[in-house]
């Protein structure tokens, strides 16, 4: 049996994980001395409610090492294989620690894929892993190699209300942060090579959304995969984005709407709107 394990930054709920026959290891969100397991002790709605009331910004932390160690011991004893998909190695240390524990287990049937992604991008990668597992045509090593190539096809462009949260969480430089503190400037960001990058800035929500719509035209989107719209606490902005895209492109085909969970919400803050999509495979 091939077991798939991801961390909760993929924003797949425990209920969804059970239906998909995968395991989701919770990361933690810390408000002062209080720690909450993502998706278990705290929901997205409750998180944003607490975030707005918090005197200090929350922090996030990696899974307990035992979450990996126990699973690696179990799969080794059973003789099964395991594929682990953690948040981008450039955003957290989960990938490095998982590799360390895998090496200590001395079991060759465990593969760890650096997602180079998070939230809906990572979710897309996990769902692709599930699809390929269910097809039953790849062993764990072949699947890992396939996913390492596929992750490069997953793209995200987003508008955030401010860069303050990303900066304080250590996800952006101080220089980039200045952009997000200018009155009414809305930063546009992307995830490039596993890191959050500032790609543009626009005065006001409307112009920022117009730019996102324009930027999407630069990509050869694979319509076999749905567009995924993600938001943090402010669905109105996301709905504006969807309606503007419909006006520009007509039928959007299959698309999904999802709330950004507590772990990534800690770093983007309220008011973010993102589009995730898969581009067509290039043959050289």
Report pLDDT for 47: 93
Is there a common fold for 2-152 and 153-278?
Answer: no
**CA–CA separation, 281 vs 284, rounded Å?**
10
Report pLDDT for 172: 55
Report pLDDT for 217: 92
Residue 216, both tokens: 């999407």
Q: Which residues contact 280 (CB under 8 A, 6 or more apart)?
A: 153, 220, 221, 222
The structure's pTM equals 0.92
Q: Which CATH architecture has domain 153-278?
A: 2-Layer Sandwich (3.30)
Per-residue tens of pLDDT for the chain, all 284 residues: 999 999 999 999 999 999 999 999 999 999 999 999 998 999 888 999 998 888 888 999 989 889 999 999 999 999 999 999 999 999 989 999 999 999 999 999 999 999 999 999 999 999 999 999 999 999 999 999 999 999 999 999 999 988 877 766 555 544 444 544 556 788 999 999 999 898 999 999 999 999 999 999 999 999 999 999 999 988 999 999 999 999 998 889 889 999 999 998 988 888 899 999 999 987 54
> What is the CATH topology of the domain spanning 2-152?
Rossmann fold (3.40.50)
- Helix axis angle for 119-135 and 140-150, nearest 10°, is 140
Each domain of the chain, given as residue ranges in start order, spans 2-152, 153-278
Report pLDDT for 177: 46
Angstrom CA distances, 27 to 91, 172, 225, 268, stand at 13, 21, 27, 16
Report pLDDT for 180: 45
Q: What is the DSSP letter of 10?
A: G
Element (H, E) at 141: helix 140-150
Burial class (CB in 10 A: 0-12, 13-18, 19+), 116: buried
């Amino acid at each position: 049996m091939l077991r798939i394990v991801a961390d909760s930054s993929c924003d797949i709920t425990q209920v969804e994980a059970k239906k998909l026959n995968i395991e989701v290891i919770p990361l933690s969100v810390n408000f002062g001395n209080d720690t909450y397991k993502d998706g278990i002790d705290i929901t997205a709605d409750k998180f944003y409610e607490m975030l707005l009331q918090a005197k200090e910004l929350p922090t996030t932390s990696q899974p307990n090492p035992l979450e990996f160690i126990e699973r690696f011991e179990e799969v080794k004893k059973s003789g099964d294989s395991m594929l682990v998909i953690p948040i981008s190695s450039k955003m957290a240390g989960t990938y490095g620690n998982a590799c360390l524990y895998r090496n200590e287990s001395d079991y060759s049937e465990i593969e760890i894929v650096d997602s180079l992604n998070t939230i809906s991008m990572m979710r897309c990668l996990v769902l692709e892993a599930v699809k390929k597992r269910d097809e039953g045509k790849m062993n764990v090593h072949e699947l890992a190699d396939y996913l390492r190539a596929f992750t490069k096809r997953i793209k995200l462009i987003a508008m955030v209300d401010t860069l303050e949260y990303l900066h304080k969480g250590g996800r952006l430089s101080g220089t980039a942060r200045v952009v997000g503190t200018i009155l009414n400037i809305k930063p546009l960001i992307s995830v490039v090579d596993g890191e959050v990058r500032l790609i543009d800035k626009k005065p006001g929500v409307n112009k920022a959304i117009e730019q996102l719509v324009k930027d999407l035209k630069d990509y050869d989107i694979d319509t076999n995969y749905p567009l995924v719209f993600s938001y943090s606490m402010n669905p109105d902005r996301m709905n504006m984005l969807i309606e503007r895209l419909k006006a520009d492109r007509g039928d959007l085909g299959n698309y999904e709407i999802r709330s950004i969970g507590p772990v990534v919400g800690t770093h983007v803050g309220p008011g973010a709107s993102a589009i995730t999509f898969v581009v067509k495979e290039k043959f050289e």
